[in-house]
C-alpha cells in the first residue's frame, strides 16, 4: 500500500481542533518526581516511559516529570509538558513563543565551572546578543574549514582503519569505540580549531578520554549508563558531581587549543567581538560537546546499522563506488547513502530530548487537539517517538534504508528533526537549529561511503568489528 504523509498544510489547522486540557499530573511534591525518575531510569527506561504515558493519556501531549529530581536537586523543577508527535514538537522551533535560555538539558543546568565560568552560546536564547556573536563565529569557522574538511576526514579515517585492521589481524573481534573517538577528536581539533593533536603526544593519546570525563560529569544526572541498579540511582542520579574532579582534563584540552588554535581564536576576537576567553570556551564546547559528543553517540549506531546488514552493504557499495573520489559534491549525488544516514538519525536521534520554555501564554496543537500552555512552562520533546509519528512516517518502527530517496523522501525531510529544526531548514542567528546541521549529515555520509569503498564486507555491532574485508 502506498503511503502519502500529510503536508503541514493538510494537517488539520489548530482552529478546527477541539481544545483539551493537558492530561497527566505531576503527582505529590517530591514523591511524584521521584517515582517518575525511577521509572525513567530504572523500571521503564526513557522510550517506554514516554510511550506508556502517551498510551495512558491517549494523547501525544501530556504533563509528566523528568529527571533529575529529589533528593539533592531541590532547585530543579522536574515538571514538563511532553511533546511526542511531529506537529506539537515543531512548536519548539518557533523562537517567538519559545525561550531557549538555559534549557539545553532541561531545567537542570550543569555548573558553569565546566565552561570556564561562562554561559556558552549553546545555553543562550536568541534574544541574548551573545548568542548571535557565538553562532556567527561557529558558522564562520565551518565555512572557512570547508576547503580542508574532506581531506582531513579521509586522512584521519585512513589512520583509524589501518589501526583497526592491524588489531583485527591479531584477534577475532576488535572494540572500535576508543579508536573512533580518537579519530573524532583529532579530526574536529584540526577542522574546527586548526589545532593538530599530533604536536602534543599526551593530547593525541588521551585528549578524547579527557573530553569523555568532562562530558560525563556534566550529563550524568540526566542520562542512564546502565550500571547495576539501585547503584546508578544512588551514586549517579542523586546529585551533581563538581567540576574540580575533571578540571585537570579540561585545562589540558583548553591549553592545547589556546596554544595550537591561535588563528581561530584570534578570529573570534577580531571579527566577532568575543574576548579571548569567550572564544576558547565556546570553541571548546562546540568541539567537545556538540561535535565530538554528538558523533560519539551517532557513529556506533550508524556503523551497527551497516555492519549488521550485508544486503544493505551491497547496495551502498554500488553507489559509493560510482564516484571517482569523495567530495562534498560527489556525496550529494549518493541518495541511498544519504537516506541511510537520515534514517539512522530518525530511528536513533543522538540528542533525543529538546526543551523550550513558553515565552508567553499560547495555544499548542497536536494532530488531534489544541492545548493552552502558560508562560514559563517547560516543554520537553522526545525525538525518538516524535520521529516515529505514524501520521507522518509509514511503518515508523521499521528501518527503511531508502525512506528519504526520491521526491516523496525529500518531502519527509520536513519532519526529520534531529538538529532541533527540520532537515529542510537552515541554522541562523534567529533560531536554535544546530549550526552543524549540514556538515553532520554530509560527514556521516562521507564516512559511510569511505567504509564501503575501502571494504567489500564489514561485520560487527555498535561497539566492535569482527570482519573488515579489504576491497581489491
Contact positions vs ligand HEM (CB under 6 A): 100, 104, 121-122, 131, 135, 138, 142, 192, 286, 290-291, 294-295, 298, 350-351, 354, 418-420, 432, 434-436, 439-440
Nearer to ligand HEM, 122 or 448 (CB): 122
> What crossing angle do the helices spanning 437-454 and 129-168 adopt, rounded to 10°?
10
Would you say 317 or 357 has its CB closer to ligand HEM?
Answer: 357
In whole angstroms, the minimum distance from the beta carbon of 436 to ligand HEM comes to 3
Nearer of residues 59 and 348 to ligand HEM, judged by Cβ: 348
Q: Minimum CB separation from ligand HEM for residue 145, in Å? A: 9
Cα–Cα distance for residue pair 415/404, rounded to 1 Å = 11
Angle between helix axes 129-168 and 276-285 (nearest 10 degrees) is: 50
Rounded least distance, CB 123 to ligand HEM, Å: 8
| Beta carbons of 90 and 100 less than 8 angstroms apart | no
| Those residues with Cβ within 8 angstroms of residue 468's Cβ, 6 or more apart along the chain or in another chain | 161, 164, 165, 168, 455, 458
Q: How far apart are CA 359 and CA 133, in angstroms?
A: 22
Grid cell locating 220: 550524568
**Alpha-carbon torsion, ordered 181, 223, 87, 3, to 10 deg:** 60
Q: Are 291 and 192 in contact (CB under 8 A)?
A: yes
The count of residues in the chain is 472
CB of 198 to ligand HEM, least distance (A): 21
Nearer to ligand HEM, 367 or 432 (CB): 432
- Nearest CB to ligand HEM, comparing residues 63 and 135: 135
Q: Which residues of 108-121 are buried (b: 16+ CB within 10 A; e: fewer)?
A: bbbeeebbbebbbb
434 is in an annotated binding site: yes
Nearest approach in angstroms of CB 283 to ligand HEM is: 9
Strand, helix or coil for residue 327: coil
Smallest gap from residue 229 Cβ to ligand HEM (A): 28
Binding residues, by number, are 434
Binding residues for heme, by number, are 434
Amino acid at each position: 500500500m502506498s503511503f502519502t504523509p500529510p503536508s503541514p498544510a493538510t494537517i488539520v489547522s489548530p482552529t478546527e481542533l477541539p481544545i483539551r486540557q493537558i492530561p497527566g499530573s505531576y503527582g505529590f511534591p517530591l514523591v511524584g518526581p521521584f517515582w517518575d525518575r525511577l521509572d525513567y531510569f530504572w523500571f521503564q527506561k526513557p522510550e517506554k516511559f514516554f510511550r506508556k504515558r502517551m498510551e495512558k493519556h491517549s494523547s501525544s501531549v501530556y504533563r509528566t516529570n523528568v529527571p533529575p529530581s529529589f533528593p539533592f536537586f531541590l532547585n530543579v523543577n522536574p515538571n514538563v509538558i511532553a511533546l511526542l508527535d511531529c506537529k506539537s514538537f515543531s512548536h519548539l522551533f518557533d523562537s517567538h513563543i519559545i525561550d531557549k535560555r538555559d534549557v539545553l538539558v532541561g531545567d537542570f543546568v550543569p555548573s558553569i565551572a565546566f565552561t570556564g565560568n561562562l554561559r556558552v552560546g549553546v545555553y543562550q536564547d536568541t534574544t541574548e546578543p551573545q548568542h548571535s556573536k557565538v553562532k556567527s563565529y561557529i558558522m564562520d569557522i565551518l565555512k572557512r574549514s570547508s576547503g580542508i574538511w574532506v581531506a582531513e576526514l579521509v586522512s584521519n579515517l585512513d589512520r583509524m582503519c589501518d589501526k583497526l585492521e592491524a588489531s583485527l589481524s591479531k584477534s577475532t573481534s576488535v572494540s572500535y569505540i576508543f579508536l573512533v573517538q580518537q579519530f573524532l577528536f583529532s579530526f574536529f581539533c584540526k577542522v574546527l580549531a586548526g589545532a593538530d593533536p599530533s604536536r602534543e603526544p599526551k593530547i593525541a593519546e588521551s585528549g578524547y578520554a579527557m573530553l569523555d570525563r568532562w562530558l560525563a560529569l556534566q550529563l550524568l544526572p540526566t542520562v542512564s549508563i546502565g550500571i547495576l541498579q539501585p547503584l546508578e540511582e544512588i551514586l549517579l542520579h542523586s546529585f551533581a558531581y563538581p567540576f574540580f574532579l575533571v578540571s585537570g582534563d579540561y585545562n589540558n584540552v583548553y591549553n592545547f587549543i589556546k596554544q595550537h588554535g591561535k588563528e581561530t581564536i584570534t578570529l573570534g576576537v577580531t571579527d566577532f567581538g568575543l574576548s579571548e576567553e569567550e572564544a576558547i570556551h565556546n570553541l571548546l564546547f562546540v568541539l567537545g560537546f556538540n561535535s565530538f559528543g554528538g558523533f560519539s553517540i551517532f557513529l556506533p549506531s550508524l556503523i551497527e546499522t551497516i555492519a549488521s546488514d550485508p544486503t544493505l552493504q551491497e547496495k551502498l557499495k554500488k553507489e559509493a563506488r560510482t564516484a571517482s573520489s569523495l567530495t562534498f559534491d560527489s556525496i550529494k549525488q549518493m541518495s541511498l547513502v544519504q537516506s541511510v544516514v537520515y534514517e539512522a538519525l530518525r530511528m536513533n536521534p543522538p540528542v533525543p530530548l529538546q526543551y523550550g520554555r513558553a515565552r508567553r501564554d499560547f495555544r499548542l496543537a497536536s494532530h488531534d487537539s489544541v492545548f493552552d500552555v502558560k508562560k514559563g512552562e517547560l516543554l520537553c520533546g522526545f525525538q525518538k517517538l516524535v520521529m516515529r509519528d505514524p501520521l507522518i512516517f509509514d511503518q515508523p518502527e521499521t528501518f527503511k534504508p531508502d525512506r528519504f530517496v526520491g521526491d516523496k523522501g525529500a518531502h519527509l525531510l520536513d519532519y526529520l528533526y534531529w538538529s532541533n529544526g527540520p532537515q529542510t531548514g537552515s541554522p541562523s542567528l534567529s533560531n536554535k537549529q544546530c549550526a552543524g546541521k549540514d556538515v553532520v549529515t554530509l560527514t556521516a555520509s562521507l564516512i559511510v561511503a569511505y567504509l564501503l569503498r575501502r571494504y567489500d564486507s564489514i561485520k560487527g555491532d555498535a561497539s566492535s568489528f569482527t570482519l573488515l574485508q579489504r576491497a581489491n
